[in-house]
Structure 1
Amino acid sequence: MKAVTIKQPWATLIALREKQFETRSWQTKYRGPIAVHAGKQIDKEACIAFSDILKQHGITSINQLPTGVVIAKANLVDCHKVIKDHGISAIMHTGLRISEDEYWFGDYEEGRYAWELDNVKVFPEPIPAKGQLSLWEWDGDSS
């Protein structure tokens, strides 16, 4: 299965189904199942900014965020190019508009890409894995 490494707290926000788009500086033509790997890095400032949302799910400390593990799988359904960033919302080349919390969960600078994820399934237990840059092949348990 293809996998993508995502810094915390964004990986957890995807697993919690709070974040539907993963923004990247590069596009992918891949569509299909993708493992969500929580990287070893935690953005502490982002954790503070999103603390209210994390607390709604019982996460009150950065120590509760799993790192170095695959936490979920999803379906990568599309890759949208950002054509207009309004500072509080963004417009994709497909006409899709990103706003509200979703906008703050990503980097929607013009020219970047928003990978649309759906059908997120959280694994009962995180699975240790070493992450990589770009898309990578994960051969772990995907049940």
Structure 2
Amino acid sequence: MNALSIRQPWAWMIVNGHKDIENRPWKTHYRGQIYVHAAKGMTHDEYGFAADFARKLGVHVPPFDELERGGIVGTVKIVDCVDEDPSPWFFGEYGFLLKDPKPLPFTPLRGKLGYFPVDPEQLKIATK
């Protein structure tokens, strides 16, 4: 299954069912379930912007130091790619519409740009 690396706290908001769109500057034709990979990098400024934005929508994200980074945090299904949407989470050039988010136990894993393949066996081995 493919994974997509997303910076925190956006990754947390997606797998916990708050954020229904992932904004990207590129369009995708991919449809289906992906692993949500929480990117290793996150600055305090990025966190502050995202947490303030979420708070205005009634979502309170965990503190900076409690967000897991550098690994798989859940799954979500990409059901469409749009260039406009009424969702308050849409502010990108393109938005990947998301459904069926599921948090998973954190599994450390190196991320990559774009979609990247993850063998489910890797996750089983990493969690043992």
TM-score band w.r.t. shorter chain: 0.7 to 0.9
Task: State how 1:33-44 maps to structure 2 within 5 Å.
Answer: 33-44=33-44
CA contact (8 A) 1:9 1:43 kept: no
2:108 matched to 1:128? yes
Equivalent position of 1:54 in the other structure: 60
Query: Does the residue aligned with 2:107 lie in a helix, a strand or coil?
Result: strand
The alignment's C-alpha RMSD in Å is: 1.9
Please point out which of 79, 82, 98 is paired with 1:80: 82
Which structure 2 segments of 5+ residues have no match? none
Q: Which has the higher strand share?
A: 1
- The Cα of 1:43 is off from its aligned counterpart by 3.7
Cα distance in 1, alignment partners of residues 44 and 19 from structure 2? 18
Does residue 71 (structure 1) correspond to residue 55 (structure 2)? The answer is: no
* Residue in structure 1 matched with residue 32 of structure 2 by the alignment: 32
Pair 17,43 (structure 1): closer, same or farther in 2 beyond 3 Å: farther
Among the aligned pairs, what percent are the same residue?
28
Corresponding residue of 1:89: none
How many equivalent pairs are there?
A: 117
Residue deviations 1:31-64, cap 9 Å, x none? 0011000000114224324154335xxx2x2110
As a proportion of its length, which structure holds more helix?
A: 2
Aligned residues of 1:21 and 1:117 also touching (Cα < 8 A)? yes
